[in-house]
Structure 1
Amino acid sequence: MQPFSLKYLLYILIALTAISCSNYQKVLKNGTPMDKLEAAKKYYQSKDYMRALPLFEELLGLYYGKPEREEIYYLYAYSYFGNAEYLLAGYHFNNFSVTYALSDKKEEATYMSALCKFKKSMPYELDQTQTKNAINALQSFINQYPNSTYVANCNDKIDILRAQILKKIYESAKLYHSLGYYKSAMVSCSNAIDDYPDMINRTELSFLIVDAAYEYANNSIENKQEERYLDTLDRIATFNKEFAKTGEYTKEINKIKEKTEAQLAEVKNIK
């Protein structure tokens, strides 16, 4: 009895799907503009964006120059967003805000355009161009609508994106050190700290600068070692000036200082 019931239910579902597809094709091919608009809204409300989109697209032409077109375009952009097609959604939200500059939905559309850029941002391991574009778009919205209810949300998203960029820069700087590219590590870590005052793990990066300076000097040719060991001692002094009170990396820094001074004395004795 149970297999029969399941089989019967399957037949019913197939039949209902066929009827639904038939009705959709009928409206799409032969429906009046009003029929298509009603069907498009119905599919939109049920989150069936794949069916709503072709209808809205046709309706944009059918209602060109008419008041109804504003709402159609608004729902058309949201259909792309609901379908996770953020590139197209962002384009249409931006175009909506330009086309309907006097609309009471312009602020929302401008925000949604920026939100689409946020949705397109890449994980920190990948290129962060889209992330920077999203930050610029969200900040542009805040500048344009400083009293908007969306401002707090924009600021939260900017914080998320900025943390992502800082993570990318931090990991890249560490990678140079891990690979033994000590000169590049010094430059990369220094740039990260100088360019981003709120850089994550700032103390660690500052320590890596000192460690990289020592390794760079230690692996240099003899006639370059003295000046590079002296540079290491300068970097140790800079580190201690900023972080000595924290106690972080104290043992490691002192050990590097001892080794540097010993190596420097040896180099001077050779001369």
Structure 2
Amino acid sequence: MKILLRIVPVLLSCAAALVIMCGENIYNLSEDLTYREVFEMGKKYFLKRDYRRAKVLFDRVARLGIIADFSDSAQFLLAESNYNLRDYLIAENEYERVLPGSMLRPKAMYMIGMCYYKLSFPTELDQKYTSEAIKAFENFYFSAYSQFDQQLSQDAVNKLVELHGKLAEKDLDTGILYKKEGSYNSAIIYLDYAMFNYNQYGTVSIVPRALYEMGECYAKLKQYSEAEEKYQALIDNFKQHPYAEKAREKLAKIKTEIAKTDTTFFK
């Protein structure tokens, strides 16, 4: 045991020295190395998933502003290294630096969207990055660059559907919260947003619930015609949805209330 206790500190010291030596190899490179050699060294670390060392080397090549056949690749791999390290805001900035004329520009534009996508919080939290992701994916999808990679283009559309759905769900939750608080007019505004503001890419999953909640809000406000309209739209367009059955029950009550209103009017 005593021998082991003596050996362990020695081994730890050796390991620390090795780390320092490796650090010196990266941060204090020989001036005899060409930019190509530095770039290739970075690629080796990148393939080993040692992204921290890789990005130091790619950064050295990219920041010099040299014109070479590997310059764009160095910039792109610098961004990729930061992305793989989950430094998404830094990665976004590096992807932006990929030149417009580069063959890597389409992928870089798509990855800008992915950076914000990764930063997007759950629906109950702030959706700033969700909106930024939508903007970035739309910039890619509606640009000429999307034509160069159909797979990325389709994935961008899929992400847009998902992200629009997320914002719609956020507004749906907000609308339901206002309804619970008795702020029915505010609830209706958010429920309307949920249905129509984010429906560009076919986001319909929240529509049945939104229609049902709007119907209840209008009923609470005694605006029975509007309530009937929402319930009927739910029944007509989503016949098999669980909320359609609830809407039928509510609609029967609404028609009774409308009949009472009409009778009172004629009296």
Counterpart Cα distance in 2 of 1:140 and 1:11: 56
Structure 1 counterpart of 2:55: 53
User: Contact conserved, 1:97 with 1:107, CA < 8 A, in 2?
Assistant: no
Distance across 2 between alignment mates of 1:63 and 1:117: 27
Cα gap change, 1:248/1:16 in structure 2, threshold over 3 Å: closer, same or farther?
Answer: same
Question: Who is 1:131 aligned against?
Answer: 130
Q: TM-score, normalised by structure 1?
A: 0.75
* Distance of 1:129 and 1:187 partners within structure 2: 20
Equivalent of residue 213 in structure 1, options 212, 218, 221: 218
1:189/1:209 contact within 8 Å kept? yes
Assess if the C-alpha contact under 8 Å between 1:166 and 1:199 holds in 2: no
Report the equivalent of 1:200: 205
SS in structure 1 of the partner of residue 103 of structure 2 = coil
Encode CA deviations 1:152-188: one digit per residue, 9 max, x unaligned: 2222222221221121121111111111111212332
2:81 maps to 79
Cα distance in 2 for residues equivalent to 1:212 and 1:70? 56
1:225 is aligned to none
Alpha-carbon deviation of 1:58? Answer: 2.7
Q: Secondary structure at the match of 2:230?
A: helix
Partners of 1:9 and 1:185 lie apart in 2 by 66
Match of 1:189 among 179, 188, 191: 191
- The reply on whether 1:233 has 2:224 as its aligned counterpart is yes
Residue 257 of structure 2 corresponds to residue 252 of structure 1: no
Separation in 1, partners of 2:63, 2:234: 65
Question: Who is 2:233 aligned against?
Answer: 242
Alpha-carbon distance between aligned partners in 2 of 1:36 and 1:27, rounded to the nearest angstrom: 9
Rg larger for: 1
What is the 5 A alignment of 1:87-106? Answer: 87-98=89-100, 101=101, 103-106=102-105
1:142 alignment partner in structure 2:
141
Aligned-pair distance for 1:78?
1.5
| Contact 1:81/1:89 (8 A) holds in 2 | yes
Contact 1:86 1:120 in 2 (8 A): yes
What is the aligned partner in structure 2 of residue 221 from structure 1?
Answer: none
- Give the Cα–Cα distance (whole angstroms) in 2 for the partners of residues 85 and 96 of structure 1: 17
**Runs of 5+ unmatched residues, structure 2:** none
Q: Which residue of 2 aligns with 1:23?
A: 22
**1:19-43 CA distance string (max 9 Å, x none):** 1322321442252334644543333
**Partners of 2:130 and 2:113 in 1: CA distance:** 11
In the TM superposition, what whole-angstrom CA distance separates every residue of 1:220-246 from its partner, at most 9, and x where no partner exists?
xxxxxxxxx3xx221243135424453
Using the TM superposition, give the Cα deviation of residue 263 of structure 1 relative to its aligned residue in structure 2, in angstroms.
7.5
Q: Does structure 1 residue 41 correspond to structure 2 residue 49? A: no
Percent of pairs with identical residues: 21
Q: Secondary structure at the match of 1:31?
A: coil
Structure 2 length-normalised TM? 0.76
> Aligned pairs, how many?
251
Please give the alpha-carbon distance, in whole angstroms, between the structure 1 residues aligned to 2:234 and 2:188.
18
Paired position in structure 2 for 1:160: 162
RMSD, matched Cα: 3.3
- Are the equivalent residues in 1 in contact too, given 2:169–2:206 (CA < 8 A)? no
Report if aligned partners of 2:82, 2:91 keep a CA contact under 8 Å in 1.
yes
Give the whole-Å Cα distance in 2 for the aligned partners of 1:147 and 1:64. Answer: 26
Question: Structure 1, residues 122-156: CA drift from partner, whole Å, max 9, x if none?
Answer: 32222323222222322332232235131222222
